[in-house]
Amino acid sequence: MERTILHCDCNNFYASVECLYHPELRGIPVAVAGDSQLRHGIVLAKNYEAKKCGVKTGNPLWLARQLCPNIVFVRPHFDLYMNFSKMCREIYSQYSDRVEPYGLDECWIDVTGSTWLFGSGAAIANSIREKIKSELGITISVGVSFNKVFSKLGSDYKKPDATTIIPFNDFRKIVWPLPVSSLLFVGRATASLLERKCIDTIGKLAQTDRRYVKDWLGKCGETLWLYANGYDTSPVAAIGEQPVIKSIGNSTTMPRDLINYDEMKITLMVLSESVAARLRQHNLQCETVQISIRGTDLSWIERQEKLAAPCCDSTTIYLKAYELLKKHHQNGKPVRSLGVRACNLSLRRFDQMSFIPSVQKSRSHEAVEEVLDNLRSRFGNKIVQRGIMLTDAALSALDPQTNYHNLVLSTVHSQ
Amino acid sequence: MAKKYIDVAAHFDTNGQIIPIIFWWDNGKCYRIDRVTEIRRAASLKAGGTGIRYTCRILGKNRYLYYDDYARKWFVEINENF
Ligand SMILES: [Mg+2]
């Protein structure tokens, strides 16, 4: 049976939310700037007025200012964006139980079963668009097609506040002339390789012999070939099947360079506690722990390892982080900054009971830490502390809980 | 148009529904809300933001009261030179 799949993409998401809250900024070029220290900051998002001047996401602020002298920089409000992301998903879920987020501002919705209730894919798309606009005050672009890849192409086709339909019997006419780089998962490297083979449109990729594409690009190439021909059959995940956030991490540059393991332990503990608290806050657990180490010589490494079972308690995360540090860092070599990141996230409620002792242990740690979360939210972070924190006031004073930056930036990077 | 936050007294019923009853203006005066005729989420482009919008009957006139459920504050849209 032919499916009906929508891809909804919020237009200039961060910038639109900022302009909604600041009516005085509408109509003038605005960029959301990644760093409050304007010297080092980059453009995280921009509105159409800024885009018209050639400002691009990732531009350093000085360049944005050069391109567009009357540009206004505003600070990001990640909590607010996450709330808008949630409200969007709530609206989408009024139309189907299959809503799969892709980053903060994009979602696929499978409405195949809902067309009997709400009308055609296009009708649903328009109704969602109107609802988002009147209830949330921002706009979205929607692509309607019979698979996920083409619906995503559709939402990119016409912006802002538009619906694009790519029907099964007509997709070649719309999709095939598009540049091959607009196809999902075709990165810069892949696109330039294909261009060297004189394949610059999706149509040319589709009409190339499948075996050649596989030879050039491996399994990945075969997938792209299938996409180009409209054979993408991947399902839209049901609500709650996968978390929106891909990883949660914190890193910090210490008040002084650290030489020995005892000092690094304190920092790792501070970071692990913050990461674990944020996992619990979002009802997530992690299966992999990653650390990053920057030396005073600006060398930088990142190492990760899987846990015995998914967890969200700081002790388990800390022990793994410390194990990684000892394994990959030579004691005595000074360290400038450390990072701890929880990856491979899943929702906690899909958890199974376990009889493995180490897993049972982390469950009981989690129970204790939930009590701590509660105490800290009521009386402040310092109300209960680990003994290790008392050994060095300067290092334990670091309060990474407020650092949302990494969290959202990593979400952006995962798109 | 601008946004003005106001003090509100509301009725929280056992279903979790919130209905505003009275609100206060700067001058200390309070106004009674006679009737709420519509409740829905709506963006306020004039004041800037989104919230639960209550269409209220006050002194024989319709007026929107917004409850910003994220900031947990009530606001109304006012003329800049009000
Ligand atoms: Mg977008």
CATH code (residue A150): 3.30.70.270
**Among candidate residues A170, A195, A220, the one where a domain is terminated:** A170
Supply the CATH number for residue A362's domain: 3.30.1490.100
* Total number of domains constituting chain B: 1
Active site residue A369: no
Half-sphere exposure in the Cβ direction for B48 (13 Å, CA): 16
* A124 within domain boundaries: yes
Return the pLDDT at A300.
Answer: 83
Is the pTM value of this prediction over 0.90?
Answer: no
Supply the CATH number for residue A194's domain: 1.10.150.20
CB-based contact A23 B43, cutoff 8 Å: no
The span from the CA of B21 to the CA of B35, in Å, is 9
CB-based contact A87 B50, cutoff 8 Å: yes
Return the H-helix or E-strand segment holding A197. Answer: none
A256 and A107 in one domain? no
Cα A141 to middle of ligand 1, angstroms: 8
Instruction: Grade residue A399 by pLDDT with cuts at 50, 70 and 90.
Output: low
Domain containing B19 equals 2-78
* A203 within domain boundaries: yes
A209 and A108 in one domain? no
The span from the CA of A103 to the CA of A85, in Å, is 9
Return the H-helix or E-strand segment holding A190. Answer: helix A188-196
Closest CA to A328 of A296, A275, A358, A290: A290
Return the pLDDT at A382.
Answer: 78
Chain A residues with beta carbon closer than 8 angstroms to that of B66: none
A255 and A109 in one domain? no
Query: Please, is A400 exposed, middle or buried when counting C-beta atoms within 10 Å of its C-beta (0-12, 13-18, 19+)?
Result: buried
A155 and A208 in one domain? no
A181 and A146 in one domain? no
Chain B residues with beta carbon closer than 8 angstroms to that of A21: 48-49
Residue of B nearest to A83 (CA): B70
How many CB contacts within 8 angstroms connect chain A with chain B? 35
Return the pLDDT at A244.
Answer: 63
Of the residues A18, A49, A100, A106, only one is catalytic, namely A106
* A43 within domain boundaries: yes
Q: Is the pLDDT of residue B18 over 80?
A: yes
**Residues belonging to chain B:** 82
**Among candidate residues A217, A239, A261, the one where a domain is terminated:** A239
> Which residues fall within 8 angstroms of residue A80, CB to CB, at 6 or more apart?
A17, A21, B70
> Which residues fall within 8 angstroms of residue A132, CB to CB, at 6 or more apart?
A8, A10, A88, A91, A138, A139, A140
CB-based contact A137 B49, cutoff 8 Å: yes
Average model confidence (pLDDT) for chain A? 87
**Among candidate residues A170, A197, A223, the one where a domain is terminated:** A170
DSSP type of residue A260: S
CB-based contact A135 B42, cutoff 8 Å: yes
B40 Cα to chain A: minimum distance (Å): 8
* A385 within domain boundaries: yes
Q: Is the pLDDT of residue A395 over 60?
A: yes
- ipTM entry: 0.92
Domain containing A271 equals 244-410
Half-sphere exposure in the Cβ direction for B45 (13 Å, CA): 9
Q: Is the pLDDT of residue A40 over 80?
A: no
* A415 within domain boundaries: no
CB-based contact A22 B70, cutoff 8 Å: no
A165 and A264 in one domain? no
Q: Is the pLDDT of residue A404 over 70?
A: no
A76 and A25 in one domain? yes
* Total number of domains constituting chain A: 3
B2 Cα to chain A: minimum distance (Å): 8
Q: Which residue has the higher pLDDT, A363 or A221?
A: A221
Instruction: Grade residue A41 by pLDDT with cuts at 50, 70 and 90.
Output: confident
Best of A18, A25, A134 to substitute, by most chain B Cβ atoms within 10 angstroms, is A134
A22 Cα to chain B: minimum distance (Å): 6
* A331 within domain boundaries: yes
Return the pLDDT at B1.
Answer: 78
A151 and A102 in one domain? yes
Q: Least CB-CB distance to B49: which of A20, A133, A134? A: A20
Inter-axis angle of helices A78-92 and A121-136, to 10 degrees? 140
* A2 within domain boundaries: yes
Chain A residues with beta carbon closer than 8 angstroms to that of B50: 20, 87, 135-137
A88 CB near a chain B CB, below 8 Å?
A: no
Query: Please, is B29 exposed, middle or buried when counting C-beta atoms within 10 Å of its C-beta (0-12, 13-18, 19+)?
Result: exposed
Closest CA to A3 of A95, A112, A116: A112
